[in-house]
Structure 1
Amino acid sequence: MTIWNLGSINSDHFYGVDHLPEPGETVLSETMERGLGGKGANMSVAAARAAAHVSHIGAVGPDGQWAVDRLTEYGVDTRPIAQLDTPTGHAVIALDAAGENHIIVFPGANREISRDAIGLALSEAAPGDILLMQNETNEQAYAAETGSKLGLKVAYAAAPFSAQAVRQVLPHLDILVLNHIEMAQLVEETGLLPGPKLGVDTVIVTKGAAGCVFYDRSNGFDAIGFDAIPVDAVDTTGAGDTFTGYFLAGIDRGMAPEEAIGTAIKASALMVTRRGTADVIPDLKEVLDWS
């Protein structure tokens, strides 16, 4: 089985600051690092490191071959990634001593992926494969509809949150992963809670250090809570992406959702003890050995 990820690829620029700036405030940074990022790339790396076969559908600019090479090194199939004339997406990340962040994202090539490229990639998919999407690319609605027609299990991480984007893909979704703030935004925009009216079989609401809540059609959408693992976090950037990638990899390997969530929680807890994004996502052996 394969996870097909229509996802962003960014160059992440990390700036270490004493505290996150308030509106109108200028702060100095004593450190700066560049790494591979973007919600799509993070999730692809996480799923690949969790022993899934991952094929990434995306785009970079003339300056982005290093990112494609890095994804390949991490075990991701990068053949569906196009090189365009538009610059590669990038993110500016201010990171304070407590591990909290402010992030500004320039989408770049991520928003110029063609329908032809998506259709060509998905023509190789098989029923039962997983299609994963986030909100940092274009053509999610087309991909979701196409994937659903092909018999793929369609998963969606609703970040950055957009009510319009969610409404467009909602009829085609099997799995929805979002954080508690995004869930509140979804309820405000649609009036729908996880359940039959929302129409999504599996919903996971992540709550950071408070764990997550799992809703599934199989148990009547009763809320099942999972605790997070207490750690001393140094960088929370990409923790949710790591969770999503690991969870879907577990589902792809035939794990029960509750077991997949347990592994995903452990992976994201380990990840936030490290500084960085895709480059520091732990592999499955590290996660299983970690206590």
Structure 2
Amino acid sequence: MTLWCLGSVNLDRFYRVPHILAPGETLAAHGLVTGIGGKGANMSVAAARAGERVALIGAVGEDGVWARESLAQWGVDTRYLEVAEGPTGHAIIAVADDGENTIIIHPGANHRIGLAAVEAALAEAVPGEWCLIQNETNLQVETAERARAAGLKIAYAAAPFTAEAAVRMAPLADLLILNRVEMEQLQAATGRGPAAQGVPAVVVTAGADGAFLHAASPSGGGASGEGVPPRHVPAVPVAAVDTTGAGDTFTGYLLAGLGAGIEGRRLGMVEAMGLAARAGAVMVTRHGTADVIPRLDEVRAI
């Protein structure tokens, strides 16, 4: 089984700051680190470190060839990670001493993925496998349509969030993953709660409050999906130093559990969410993104 991920690769520049900047404020950073990130890269590495076979469909610029080589060394299939004209996507990340962050993203090559790469990758796919899509690239809908036609299941991580993108993707998705603020924005835009978005399963992450699984409302409507209580998976209490990449780590581990499974055993949704929550807990105790995503043995140790 393979997880097919249409996703971004960014060159991340981390600035350590005393606190998150206020509008108009100039603040001196006391640290700078450059690494590999982007939601596609992070999710792919997380799934690979959980033991899943992962193929990343995307693009980097000439300045990001080294990142593609690193991803391959970390177990990600990069045959469909093209080298496009122009710069690689990048992110400017300010990480405060309390672990909170702000992120500015420039898409770069992530918005120049060719449809031919998508079609070549999905020609290898097997019905029943998962295709994971997020919002830092082009071709989300086109990839979802082709993946569904090939018999794949669609997981949609709706970040960076826009209600318009989520509404377009929801009819194509089997699993929707978003955080609590994003879910509130989607509900405000649609007038429907998590269980009534037209997606069979919706996972809402809530930081220290854990994560919630909402099954589709039997009636298919209503403002909140009444009568279908969500399943709650608690968070693992840890001392967070950097929340960057924690949600992506959660998503990658979740899809690894649902796909080929963990060490050959496919997990149910709630069990996979529990594993993903532990992975996210390990991740927030570390500084960095793709390079520090935990391995399965490290996740099981907590």
- Does TM, normalized by the shorter one, top 0.5? yes
Partner-residue secondary structure (3-state), 1:64? helix
Equivalent residues of 2:197, 2:216 under 8 A apart: no
Shift of 1:164: 1.7
> What amino acid is the match of 1:178?
L
Identity %: 53
Give, in whole Å, the separation in 2 of the partners of 1:192 and 1:119. 34
Give, in whole Å, the separation in 2 of the partners of 1:216 and 1:285. 30
The residue that corresponds to 1:174 in the other structure is 174
Instruction: Tell me how large the CA RMSD over aligned residues is.
Output: 1.3
Give, in whole Å, the separation in 2 of the partners of 1:173 and 1:20. 35
Equivalent residues of 1:141, 1:165 under 8 A apart: no
Give, in whole Å, the separation in 2 of the partners of 1:85 and 1:3. 27
Partner-residue secondary structure (3-state), 2:271? helix
Partner-residue secondary structure (3-state), 2:137? coil
Give, in whole Å, the separation in 2 of the partners of 1:190 and 1:141. 19
Give, in whole Å, the separation in 2 of the partners of 1:221 and 1:63. 49
Q: 2:233 aligns with which of 223, 226, 239?
A: 226
Shift of 1:194: 2.4
Give, in whole Å, the separation in 2 of the partners of 1:52 and 1:19. 37
Give, in whole Å, the separation in 2 of the partners of 1:209 and 1:2. 31
Q: Over residues 15-35 of structure 1, what are the superposed CA-to-partner deviations in whole Å (9 max), with x where a residue is unaligned?
A: 011111100000001110001
Give, in whole Å, the separation in 2 of the partners of 1:233 and 1:40. 23
Q: Over residues 114-138 of structure 1, what are the superposed CA-to-partner deviations in whole Å (9 max), with x where a residue is unaligned?
A: 1121111111111011000110000
Partner-residue secondary structure (3-state), 1:143? helix
Equivalent residues of 2:93, 2:103 under 8 A apart: yes
The residue that corresponds to 1:12 in the other structure is 12
Q: Any stretches of 5+ residues in structure 1 without a counterpart?
A: none
| TM-score for the superposition, normalised by structure 1 | 0.97
The residue that corresponds to 1:283 in the other structure is 295
Partner-residue secondary structure (3-state), 2:199? coil
> What amino acid is the match of 2:97?
A
The residue that corresponds to 1:263 in the other structure is 275
Give, in whole Å, the separation in 1 of the partners of 2:246 and 2:62. 29
The residue that corresponds to 2:3 in the other structure is 3
> What amino acid is the match of 2:239?
D
Q: Any stretches of 5+ residues in structure 2 without a counterpart?
A: 219-226
The residue that corresponds to 2:224 in the other structure is none
Q: Which of structure 1's runs of 4+ aligned residues deviate more than 2 A? A: 216-222
Give, in whole Å, the separation in 2 of the partners of 1:191 and 1:216. 17
